[in-house]
Structures are given as structure tokens and as C-alpha cells.
Amino acid sequence: MIRANKRRIGGWLPSNPEVLRKWVANLLAKPVAEPSDYVQPIQDLQNLVASTFSLNASTQAMFTEAYIYDPNDPTGAPALTSWPQFLGVLNNIMTTAPEFIVDSHGDAQGLVGFPINAVLDWPMGTTAGYSVFSSDLFNRQLQKVLQYWGQFLTTEASRYVLAYGTPDTDPPSIAWLSPQAKQQIVAVACQPSNNPDCKNYTFEDIFQVPDPYDPVYLGFTSWDQFFVREFQPGIRPLGDTVLVSACESAPLQYNTGVKLSDQFWLKGQPYSLENMLNFDPLTSQFDGGSVYQAFLSALSYHRWHSPVDGVIKQAFVVNGAYYLENMAEGVNSPDPDPSAPNASQPFITSVATRAVIFIEANDPGIGLMAFVAVGMAEVSSSEITVNVGDTVSRGDQLGMFHFGGSTHCLVFRPGVSLSFQVPVTNQPNLDATNVAVNANLATVG
């Protein structure tokens, strides 16, 4: 795996370890409510664990295992030591929105988009953690907790971070709609642009805003509305190849000869198509085919667009796991991933919550293909906005991520010969840069 540096790819957490350490330490130091005052989904999760022997033992064991491995978390902050302590921290997170962090010099460091992930990095990589986060019983209740938080992020109460920061804390935060934060968002949007004038654009030049005359919130009514903001018309022109980029994303890898069923949990993390596509009857057509995978940036664009002209043949959301890490990247491995699940991206295509859309491409060189939108962490909510039978053109919207880390796959049948117009490798590359949505991705033949 190509990972010369183990930074927080995609910018979902600050890459500066000291900044992140201070933020985590502040999170753990906040007073917590009495368990009887937790939000209802967390109380229900607490009751489920207490009444299920295997979960009761494993939830505590994952924190014990992690503490034995390292009394500090990957940031260097003192680690959580118990399941009850985690629940108190989790309850605090339920009424907060992601912060945009800067260092002591005012230089932007990114957002804390994965607060839950930040405190689970080592526990999720333990043997007990694998047992907990692979439990469907546990995941379905955890899903309700994440949905509760996701609902808060759609309310007006969540938009405070758009207009206000905390300049007196260490590390300080700034408003998302401050000039400094908008400048960094513009820089990310310009990364894949071929327009030399892009660096001179404003945030409002690049993104649609509900009310450009609103001096505080630009008309955004919630954090979620800001997160799923759209590009201005013409900012992402449609390429002229038969296959265009479905997401604003950085190529991870391209694999051929992919099996219907494979041991995706092993160190090499091979794709397993039956698992990825949830054993849909159409899956058998892809045996021996290929998979292109790319990951999304926190500061970028989170809607998905059709990579081909064609017809929607099937579309559904798979309720999968959260915070499940490949064991070969966990604390018992020679080289544990301190930014999990970054190094487990191929693995999570088979286990995480994901949206699956089959498209019958008009071009016979492609034919039936699949788009898979995979939630990596936190809310991981995927909304499909097309229906079976819809005719789509390249660049038409398919859906969107409503917050949380994300990666996606394009799946092709055997015999589809692709010539990529962007750099791709046959092993995970965590240092790739964004390809613009709708840009030329590959030709056929």
C-alpha cells in the first residue's frame, strides 16, 4: 500500500498531530451528563450492551486492549479507558457541529469532522473492537445514534459553526464562512481545475448559496445544507469521454480480474463483488471484472453524478457496519493505521453502509456497470435521488453523502477495456489528488 505518510487523508481531521491532540484532550475534558439524561438512542445503545453478554464484555475489552497497546490515542492525547466514558463523550457530540480548526498562528488546519472516529482509532483496531463493530445487532442501534446526530445537523441549531468560531480555545476554531475558511475551500475546489483564473474566484463564484445577501449565513439554514452545497453552473464542465468522474475524488486504485467472492478481510483486502453489491442477482455478470475506487475530500463536493449515459436498473442502500477496520491494519499488526479506516478502504466496500446503483450504459463497450457510494465513518448517510427506470446522462445527479467520510467505486463487467485519462495504480494510493466531478475519466477500447 502506498502511504509514505500516514496523514489524515481527505482533510476530515487536522493533519497536525499536536493540534488534533489538543482538540481530543478538550473533548474528553468536557463535563458529561448523567446516563439517565443521555439522548434516547444512546440510552438504548447502553441498555442493549448491558443486556447482551458478548457486547457487554467486548465493549469494555476494546478499550482495555487499546490502553494496553498505548495509554494514549494516536494523537498523543490520553485515551478513553472505558465504555461508560465513551458514552458520555458520545452524548456530548450529539449537539455539536464540525469545527474548522486553525493553529496558534491562524493557519487553517482543516475540520474535526470525525470526533467519534478520533477517540475510537485504537479501540476499533483491537480484536474486541472488531467483534463489537462487526455485530449487526450493535450496528443497527449505533445507526440510530448516528441518525440522531445527522438529524441535528439538518437543524438551524447546527449552523452556529458557519458564523462563529472559538478564537480563545486551544486549538482555536474559525467560522466556516469566514474569509480564511472560504479561501481554503476555494483552494481545494481549484486543485483539479484547468482554469488558471480559478484561484481568483470567490466562494460564491464556485458554489451556489441560498442567499448571497445574508451577511451571516449566506442563507444556509443548517450545517447539512452547507455540506451538500452545489457548484455554480459551468464550474464543472462535462468531459467528452464515454466515462466521466462520478465524484469530486482522488483515485485510490484500479483492480482487474476481481472475484465474485473473495477473502476481503485478509491483509491484501481483495474486492469481493457479492459482498460489495449485497448479493444482488445482477452481481454474477461482474465475475472477473474490474473496480475503480476513489475517496472524497472533506472540504470539497459531496454529490454523486452519473459517469455514463444510460438507464438506472437497480438502486438501494445497504445497512452495513460503522467503524469496522481491517484487522491487518489494527493494533496487533506490525504497522497499525493511526488514521483508521483510511488504510481499510477496499475492505469497507464489503462491510460499510453504502448505496448501490446499477446503470445500463448506452455505450455497448461498457454495458451494465455499478456505482457504489461507501460511508467511511460518522453519520455515513447516503441519499439516492434517482429511481429504477430513470434515464440519465453523464453528469446528472445520482445522490449525495450527508456528512461523514466517504469513498466510492465504479464496477465493470469482464471484457470492458478502459484507458484512464487520470493517474491510477493497482494498489491503494493514499497520496492521490482530486479529479473533478464530470471530468474525463476513461475511454473504452
Confidence grade of residue 384 (pLDDT, cut at 50, 70, 90) = very high
The pTM (predicted TM-score) of the whole model is 0.92
Inter-residue contact 422 to 191 (CB < 8 Å) = no
Reduced to 3 states (helix: H, G, I; strand: E, B; else coil), residue 424 is coil
**Using CB atoms within 10 A of its CB, is residue 389 exposed (0-12), middle (13-18) or buried (19+)?**
exposed
pLDDT number for residue 3: 37
Work out the number of other CB atoms within 10 angstroms of the CB of residue 160. Answer: 15
Per the structure block, which three cell numbers stand in for 413? 463487467
Confidence grade of residue 1 (pLDDT, cut at 50, 70, 90) = very low
Inter-residue contact 362 to 308 (CB < 8 Å) = yes
DSSP notation for 280-304? -GGGGGGTTEEEEEEEE-TTS--EE
Cα gap 374→193, rounded to integer Å = 25
C-alpha to C-alpha distances, 270 to 126, 204, 276, 348, nearest whole angstrom: 21, 42, 11, 11
**5-14, 138-147, 195-204, 396-405: which has the minimum mean pLDDT?**
5-14
Give first-to-last CA distance, the chain, whole Å.
Answer: 29
**Does 70 have pLDDT greater than 90?**
no
pLDDT in tens, 136-182: 999 999 999 999 999 999 999 999 999 999 988 888 899 999 998 89
Residue 124 DSSP symbol: G
pLDDT in tens, 202-218: 999 999 999 999 999 99
Cα gap 388→314, rounded to integer Å = 5
pLDDT number for residue 194: 77
pLDDT number for residue 264: 72
Strands 397-402 and 381-384: antiparallel
Confidence grade of residue 4 (pLDDT, cut at 50, 70, 90) = very low
pLDDT number for residue 6: 47
DSSP notation for 19-65? HHHHHHHHHHHS----GGGS-HHHHHHHHHHHH-HHHHHHHHHHHHH
Reduced to 3 states (helix: H, G, I; strand: E, B; else coil), residue 181 is helix
**Does 405 have pLDDT greater than 70?**
no
pLDDT number for residue 56: 97
Confidence grade of residue 13 (pLDDT, cut at 50, 70, 90) = low
pLDDT in tens, 370-380: 999 998 877 67
Give counts: helices (H), strands (E), the chain: 13, 16
- Over residues 113-127, mean pLDDT: 83
- Over residues 183-188, mean pLDDT: 90
pLDDT number for residue 145: 95
Per the structure block, which three cell numbers stand in for 351? 462491510
pLDDT number for residue 47: 98
Cα dihedral 431, 433, 437, 440 in deg (nearest 10): -100
**99-103, 267-271, 277-281, 371-375: which has the minimum mean pLDDT?**
267-271
Confidence grade of residue 119 (pLDDT, cut at 50, 70, 90) = confident
pLDDT in tens, 258-274: 999 888 766 678 899 99
Confidence grade of residue 75 (pLDDT, cut at 50, 70, 90) = low
Question: What is the average pLDDT value for the chain, to the nearest integer?
Answer: 89
**Using CB atoms within 10 A of its CB, is residue 433 exposed (0-12), middle (13-18) or buried (19+)?**
exposed
pLDDT number for residue 208: 98
Per the structure block, which three cell numbers stand in for 398? 445520482
Cα gap 351→238, rounded to integer Å = 32
Confidence grade of residue 325 (pLDDT, cut at 50, 70, 90) = confident
C-alpha to C-alpha distances, 305 to 46, 236, 420, 437, nearest whole angstrom: 39, 11, 18, 7
Element (H, E) at 203: helix 203-206
Q: Rounded to 5 degrees, what are φ and ψ at 305?
A: -130, 155
